[in-house]
Structure 1
Amino acid sequence: MSIFSPARHIDKLPLQRIDPEYKRLRLQVFLGIFVGYAGYYLVRKNFSLVMPDLIEQGYSKGDLGFALSGVSIAYGLSKFLMGNVSDRSNARTFLTFGLVLSALTMIFMGVVPFATSSIAIMFILLFVNGWFQGMGWPPSGRVMVHWFSTKERGTKMSIWNVAHNVGGGLVGPIAIAAVAIFGTWESKFYFPGIVALVFALFAYLTIRDTPQSCGLPTIEAYKNDYPVNYSDALEKEMTAKEIFLDYVLNNRVLWYIAFANAFVYLVRYGILDWAPTYLEEAKGFSVKETGWAYFAYEYAGIPGTLLCGWISDKVFKGRRAPATIIYMVLVLVAVLVYWKNPPGNIMIDNIALVAIGFLIYGPVMLIGVQALDLVPKKAAGTAAGLTGLFGYLGGALFANIAMGFIVDKWGWDGGFIMLVAACLLSIAFTALTWQREKIHLNLQ
């Protein structure tokens, strides 16, 4: 589609303008994808805050859980398929368009009573919303690989990744403001949608597709940071077939990363989604204590992610596998403490849960960066999409469905055995990328 076509390269700017223009635009596009992606979270996470109101309308938790699964299913598929489209699209229009459609879907759910009249209709609308949500990460990845070089990408991606927590953290206050202003529970659908439209406008005004479309040299030339086998041919846009066959489907290391991501997501959501139930049932937490523990888990991820990106760039010189493995070994230790700590030691449980939150988001972020590192820039969205597909359909969905059945049949011990196994498998699959990564970064 012509509105999504990559921005055309223009003549290079005079030499004296390149450095100041590059510095200004790098900050500008970074702010654009940060605010834009935070906006996506405003209209991805708000349904959870409407669920208590829908329960009062007569829906069961099981029914609403099924409706909510529509987001995960669609998001996993969309991130992969729309990722490939985004590789051949202008990141500026692609990211903005997806956010506008997602926001309009949520506004529709709040304004039209028919939208919440049955579980089937909510599932369909949340599936549609999940599909549009898949248009956020891939263009952000495209911007990242075109504007930031390999050796600095871990740090920059870790800062950008905080947009997840910022957007997710704003949902609660925006929902409270919505009810205060409009006085209805439906406003928790449409008010975040309205705010997200403002975020979309900011993203459109600030994002630029590639340096070459602004009269600047490639980031590799500007930073003198060339990956192995780099050539000018890799700056040309590719067809969907070339991306899939040449750089994704036949890339064994990318498949290792995708499997590692599935197991990391299984641990992430196995702990996160079941924490309230586990803490109240098995550890005797009150509802209030559970709420604070859950909050601490999410926000501990911010410093943990930033530190992980810094370690990857500065200590391991752009390698992702060592930092991921160190973090996942520590996650394994924290999961064992969280599992085996006897009921009544609330402080130990909280420390273990915060440690898992601090540690787990680092590998979530780094595996995405590693996928971007190991393919040409023009295949970045598809590579990120493949890891996302495994993460959401293999990990998140499995954590929701399998964990419930396993705990019902074998108790919490059975569930934690599965989580420990997932930690070990994520470490094993990441270890398989160790050597290839060294070769790719010229560290051999």
Structure 2
Amino acid sequence: MRSLAPGIKLITSFSRDSWYRFFILLLTFVFYTTYHLSRKPISIIKSQLHRNCSNVIHPADLNITDNDTWCDWAPFDQNNYQNLFGVLDNCFLVAYAIGMFFSGIFGERLPLRYYLSSGMILSGIFTALFGLGFYWQIHSLWYYCLVQALNGLVQTTGWPAVVACVGNWFGKGKRGFIMGIWNSHTSVGNILGSLIAGVYVSSAWGLSFIVPGIIIAAAGVICFLFLVESKQEQKGNKNKDCRCLPLLRNSSSNEEIFSANTSTAVETVEDHTEAISFCGALRIPGVVEFSLCLLFAKLVSYTFLYWLPLYIANVAHFDPKKAGDLSTLFDVGGIVGGILAGLISDYSGGRATTCCAMLIIAAPMVSQTFFFLSFFAQTSGKMQTSVSTRCMLLWCGALVNGPYALITTAVSADLGTHECLRGNSRALSTVTAIIDGTGSIGAAVGPLLAGLISPTGWNNVFYMLIAADVLACLVRLKADVCCPGSCIRRSEDGVDTLQG
């Protein structure tokens, strides 16, 4: 009797649950990739909204005399254009930070398939509306600020929802490594967003937003059609009170516990515990400390995200597309850094120590990156081809985004499934939202400060980033994730208290 083909053997060796897990992991990866894909264009088109018009060919039919800003896009044609860019970034990031604190609460209580798909579709609409300002000839700062703020609010639907869904299907196992690979969607989205925006930025910058808007809206439709948010839903369980579950719970709650060496799942009794309160989640040991750590880490990461292409364009005199393409090296390094941080934390068993070590190294690396970018920008345009410059951007991205990725994924999952939560295990989405929401405050402050400081010199911006890295490390030193005897208990009146 002939044996099956090797490929068929491989396919049939996986159980149906394994295929579902792979499918959900792939779907959530794609979904959050589109979120970041739609955020990136704003950093690419900044150098197009305000250009050096002396280097731009003047159209013969354009009757303009003694105007050195004729090629700029109002209202960004003024001398304070960097401050206006900072305000534009801040409208998105402040709205995102505020909305994130509420998003986790909704994520624990609403059907995630509807919540996530509606968020992506709305985000696609608002992203496209920003680009339509090019075709509608809108020159009002208020219009762009309003669209950015609304987009920031609806984008908060993404992170708590995808983390909760992944947590429902995957157990502890090698959590840092798996989530480090999965979390590369952030950098992949930034890279794709840069490349897509770069295609249209010089010809019709409106398409740099419209195309990503269409992509994320289409992903929202796919989410509505295909997302299975829980194993119970896959099995036909109609209980609407059962939502996405944390990554690891006690055997007394409804869960799947996966061994690091096997994909076998052991199902237990169904969990009907109410979602944890906001104040109760804050009392989980380590949540406040890691939230503050992420605040400074995300400040650095998002300042690079929103300002690195403009900085490269200014100091190296590159066109917007070339500057955007070069800035993607920072995001490529972020992919490596996230995976490396997860792998090291799994091997060492110390997520907090891994974050601290990478933050300590990141501070001088940011300084060296600034030196290399400035030096090679002044040496006959060698910045584009310099191997040293490219390596510095890669390593800087790895060290800056590594701790950021680890805190928002594996650390958030560890805290949201802390051993002290035996009385209430449905905390993952809320804890994730608190940590990422606090980090988003830093993400809002960083680009705003960069816009205010950059007119005084780019070196001052880099000093600010180095100081933020040092503060993140100092805050981390106070974090103590393992607090024996400290537990959250819910009383009969529904109040969460810390007991120890």
Q: TM-score, normalised by structure 1?
A: 0.79
Letter in 1 for 2:447: N
Corresponding residue to 1:364 among 389, 396, 404: 404
1:23: how far off?
A: 0.5
Offset of residue 98 of structure 1: 0.3
Does residue 238 of the first structure (1) align with residue 274 of the second (2)?
yes
Structure 2 partner of 1:382: 430
Paired positions, count = 408
Judge conservation of contact 1:36–1:202 (CA < 8 Å) in 2.
Answer: no
Match of 1:91 in 2: 112
Amino acid at match of 1:46: P
Map residues 84-233 of structure 1 onto 2, 5 A cutoff: 84-111=105-132, 116-175=138-197, 184-215=204-235, 221-223=256-258
Whether the 8 Å CA contact 1:46–1:188 is kept in 2: the answer is yes
Change in Cα spacing, 1:233 to 1:379, as seen in structure 2 (3 Å) is farther
- Answer whether contact 2:300 2:465 (CA < 8 A) is retained: yes
Q: How far apart, in 1, do the equivalents of 2:374 and 2:438 lie?
A: 34
Deviation of the 1:136 alpha carbon: 0.6
Q: Is the 8 A contact 2:45 2:201 kept in 1?
A: no
Cα distance, 1:354 vs. partner? 2.3
Higher helix share: 1
Counterpart Cα distance in 2 of 1:35 and 1:131: 20
Provide, for residues 133-161 of structure 1, a one-character-per-residue CA deviation record: whole Å limited to 9, x for no partner.
11111101111221112232222221222
Rg comparison, structure with higher value: 2
Question: 1:324 matched to which residue of 2?
Answer: 355
Query: SS at 1:378's partner residue?
Result: coil
1:401 alignment partner in structure 2:
448
Distance 1:146 1:49 in 2: 36
Greater alpha carbon shift after TM alignment, 343-352 vs 80-89 = 343-352
Superposed displacement of residue 42, structure 1: 3.1
Q: CA offset at residue 320 of structure 1?
A: 1.6
Tell me the CA shift for residue 337 of structure 1: 2.7
Matched residue SS, 1:433: coil
Q: What's the counterpart of residue 14 of structure 1?
A: none
Taking only the aligned residue pairs, the percentage that are identical comes to 24
Query: RMSD across aligned C-alpha pairs, in angstroms?
Result: 3.6
CA–CA distance in 1 between the matches of 2:299 and 2:375?
27
| CA offsets 1:232-256 (integer angstroms, 9 cap, x no match) | 79943524xx42132x222341000
**DSSP 3-state at the match of 1:432:** coil
Structure 1: gaps of 5 or more residues = 1-16, 226-230
SS at structure 2 position matched to 1:436: coil
Partners in 2 of 1:137 and 1:296 — Cα distance? 24
Give the unaligned 5+ runs of structure 2: 1-11, 51-71, 238-244, 248-254, 261-266, 377-382, 418-424, 487-500
Match of 2:33 in 1: 38
Pick aligned residue for 2:329 from 288, 296, 309: 296
Q: What is the match of residue 12 of structure 1?
A: none
Deviation (angstroms), 1:357:
0.6
- TM-score norm. by structure 2 comes to 0.71
Distance 1:119 1:342 in 2: 32
Q: Does structure 1 conserve the Cα–Cα contact (< 8 Å) formed by 2:292 and 2:475? A: yes
Alpha-carbon distance, 1:128 to partner: 0.5
